[in-house]
Amino acid sequence: MINLTAIEKSFGDLPVLKGVDLVVPRGGVTALIGPSGGGKSTLLRCINLLELPTSGTVEVGECRIEFRPGRKVNQKAVRELRRQTGMVFQNFQLFPHQTAVANVMEGLLTVLKWPKDRAHARAIELLDKVGLAHKADAWPSSLSGGQQQRVAIARALAPEPKVLLCDEPTSALDPELSGEVVAVLAQLAEEGTTMVMATHDLRLARQIAHDVVFLEAGKVVEAGQASQIFEKPSQARTVQFISTLTEQGMAAGAGI
């Protein structure tokens, strides 16, 4: 489903990704974890080409694009690859002047040119899926953060993408509200939705990820099945990172 090979990404003279490989099978859920600045969000954005790799190969479904320094990128190929993906952002990115249902409909109407009735029916179906059909006519400003993120998930799912990409989907939420989002993503994982998420939320990663990739300084420190990474990591740096986040989560849950 997703195959990234030797991905390099630099911003000016600053290298951010250094030869990263990633394979996500159809129906798989992969969590990208690691310290801030380690490259996980950049790698996620390279999958749908919101960030164009400096070099390497990106393959999503049947779309494959090779990048080389100085080589012009085919914009038609970029658009075709992006249509295979849906993106959920950290800060929701809902249109404030549109209702929940209109936010979900927007891409179907403007990009895919669906008839309004069909787009509305699809939007209501997805809002119901994330538990928010009763909020269809609500403005984003009247919704909690967890509700806004669930609307954003519905919007990302609207065009039936082959893969859902989530960039820190719970980091802007307090633990109670993030639970709403974790539950929705867990349901999608059970249904076989292919997902890649960059996250600091180990509860989210533990609950739904099949595989985990630990990134630091633009390189893969360790990768493997989620159970192996969380319970018996082989690299000392992975052990240190996971134990630190686990301790922070326990302190937050105790109100310390």
Domains of the chain with bracketed CATH: 2-84+166-253 (3.40.50.300), 94-160 (no CATH)
Global pTM value: 0.91
- Alpha-helical segments (H) within the chain: 40-47, 75-82, 100-110, 116-129, 145-157, 175-190, 202-208, 226-231, 236-253
Block means of pLDDT (10 residues each) for the chain, 256 residues, are 95 94 93 93 95 95 91 90 92 94 96 96 96 96 94 95 93 81 91 93 88 95 93 92 66 45
Q: What pLDDT was estimated at residue 250?
A: 44
Is 2 in contact with 196 (CB distance < 8 Å)?
Answer: yes
Q: What pLDDT was estimated at residue 145?
A: 92
CA 202/CA 214 separation, integer angstroms: 12
Q: What pLDDT was estimated at residue 177?
A: 77
- CA 92, 95, 96, 102 dihedral sign is negative
Q: What pLDDT was estimated at residue 254?
A: 44
Q: What pLDDT was estimated at residue 256?
A: 36
Q: What pLDDT was estimated at residue 246?
A: 59
CA 4/CA 6 separation, integer angstroms: 7
